[in-house]
Amino acid sequence: MSILKRLVDYLAPAGFILAIGAIVWARFTPFGHPLPGGLRPWLIAAAALVLVHLILRWEDATRYLGVRQVKYGTNTFVLVVVVLLILGGVNYLVNRHTKRIDLTKNQRYSLAEQTKKVVQGLESEVTITYFQRERDMDEGRDRLREYEALSDRLKVEFVDPVKNPTRAQAFDITTVPTLILQRGERRERISSVSEQDITNALIKVTREGSKTVCFVEGEGERSTEDSAERGYSGAKSALTDSQYEVESLFLLREKTVPEKCTVVVVAGPEKDLTPEAISPLREYVRGGGKLLAMVEPEFKESYPNLVGLLEEWNIQAGNDVVVDISGVGQIFGASELAPLVMDYPSHEITRDFRVMTLFAGARSMQAGEGSVEGVTAQNLARTSEQSWAETTLKTEGALEYEEDSDRLGPISLAAVATVKGEAPASSEDEGEADEAKQDEGSEEAKETEKEKAPEGRVVAVGDADFASNQLLGFQGNQDFFLNVVAWLAEDADLISVRPKEPENQSLFLSRQVQQNVAWVALVILPLIFVVAGVVTWWRRR
């Protein structure tokens, strides 16, 4: 019997030794082989040995500790178990129903709205194979898991090229990180785990065909090859990233808008467009074409032909310049002639758009108060009430609001119009038209005619600087420009706030400041606790 008691006494020490040995083996693998069965069963066995020891020697334990200590110990043990059960239950629920709150600036750990639209709109399966060393895979794994959670059609595979060289050779992987995005036979390769690059690659691999944005040239319009502040090379790069083709269009030579042009852009011409250039644009929109016109204030030149064309679509370009005295623009180093916009009337282009846009030297551009048959127009972006449309155009001297001639804000700087064209004529259409005439009240006939008529789209902006290299990177300027193009090109999934690269938020401290921080953290704060402890001890002495 005494031998049995001695064996029982060794159970708890054996359990502790077993637990420590298992942890050391699992951590350092001293024999070159992983711990058989993993760490968990060994720890369970160690805990069981300690528990059996306590149960068999319970009377001795209570006698040694005393009834009171055992009672308090039992209560504490029960409370600990209850707390652990509660925490376990909460963690289980959180794991099954994930809800993340991103409190960082610019939501750097949350996917952008465009990413969500693109992934959730997938119509076929896309696979992403992420090649990276296991030790460096955490950042990419976390981001790609967020992508995968958005759609069942997106599958992600993580591959360490060192552990799986055959898989790496199949994709010709020579550097890491490398991501391979594949849909059917189409494949894209990128070497970055940034959200911007991944989403752009997804757009490229899922889009069928290509769409072309044509920039009109010939009257001093902004050039997509110009990298200066007034140039549009940044706009071209942004369009290319969104998988649009960008080309130039010389209307006086072409005489008509080519069929390949999905969207035509007139970007702030220095001279008015000639009638020979206006006519192709008119016919283009009437036939269902899409036009973005950016018309600058008439400081030196007037644009009667271009302004008149916009009036045909019930868009009025004011002979003025917009002044903003709210002071918000001045915070960003802009003048009073650079109005800031934070008010966007409801439209597909600006849906859920809650970022600022900045314009420079802008004229008013608004939907006409009257109506034009077959045209639906509305305002798109408005300034604050602390602004006005200055009709006395001048380049020097202070600008002051004159109640008799100026128009008080909010002032619209952009307007949009949809233009119903004529239905294409054919023998069948003529027959249907005759039937429709016989029954003018037939709603079905009206709907048939409406569906066959092409819909032209026009967006007019009273400024071209907002999309220039100088201002494109400001807050929502690039998103506004790309949303306009996407709406014109009928790419609804691309209308959103796009992912942006996280800002560098490094904090650089001078040597003196670093020394001050070290003194506070290593000397002053510990000394305060020591003094407080000594004072407390002295009072209780």
The CATH number assigned to the domain with range 210-422+452-494 reads 3.40.50
Q: What is the pLDDT along the chain (541 residues), one digit of tens a residue?
A: 567 666 777 777 888 888 888 888 777 776 667 778 888 888 888 888 888 877 777 666 666 555 566 566 667 777 888 888 898 888 877 766 666 666 555 556 678 888 888 898 888 899 999 999 988 888 888 889 989 988 999 999 999 999 899 999 999 988 889 999 999 888 899 988 888 889 888 988 888 778 999 999 999 999 999 999 999 999 999 999 888 999 999 999 989 999 999 999 999 999 999 999 999 999 999 999 999 999 999 888 899 999 999 999 999 999 999 999 887 767 666 788 899 999 999 999 998 888 899 999 899 999 998 889 999 999 999 999 999 999 886 656 667 888 888 899 899 999 999 998 766 555 444 445 455 444 555 555 545 444 566 899 999 999 999 999 999 999 899 999 999 999 999 988 777 766 655 555 566 677 788 888 888 888 888 889 888 888 888 887 6
Compute the distance between CA of residue 471 and CA of residue 215 in angstroms, rounded to an integer: 19
| Helical (H) or strand (E) element with 127 | strand 126-131
Q: Is residue 264 within 8 Å of 249, Cβ to Cβ?
A: yes
Give the CB-side neighbour count of residue 321, counting CA atoms within 13 A. Answer: 18
| Beta-bridge partner residues of 190 | 179
How do residues 349-406 score in pLDDT, each as one tens digit?
Answer: 998 888 899 999 899 999 998 889 999 999 999 999 999 999 886 656 667 888 888 8
How do residues 84-101 score in pLDDT, each as one tens digit?
Answer: 889 888 887 776 666 666
Q: Is residue 182 within 8 Å of 125, Cβ to Cβ?
A: no
How do residues 496-530 score in pLDDT, each as one tens digit?
Answer: 766 655 555 566 677 788 888 888 888 888 889 88
Q: Where are the beta strands (DSSP E) in 218-260?
A: 244-250
H helix intervals, 209-366: 233-241, 251-254, 275-286, 304-312, 328-331
pTM of structure: 0.67
Q: Does domain 107-200 sit in CATH 3.40.30.10?
A: yes
The one-letter amino acid at 429: D
What is the chain's mean pLDDT, rounded? Answer: 83
Domain boundaries along the sequence of the chain: 2-96, 107-200, 210-422+452-494
Q: Is the peptide bond before 304 cis (omega within 30 degrees of 0)?
A: no
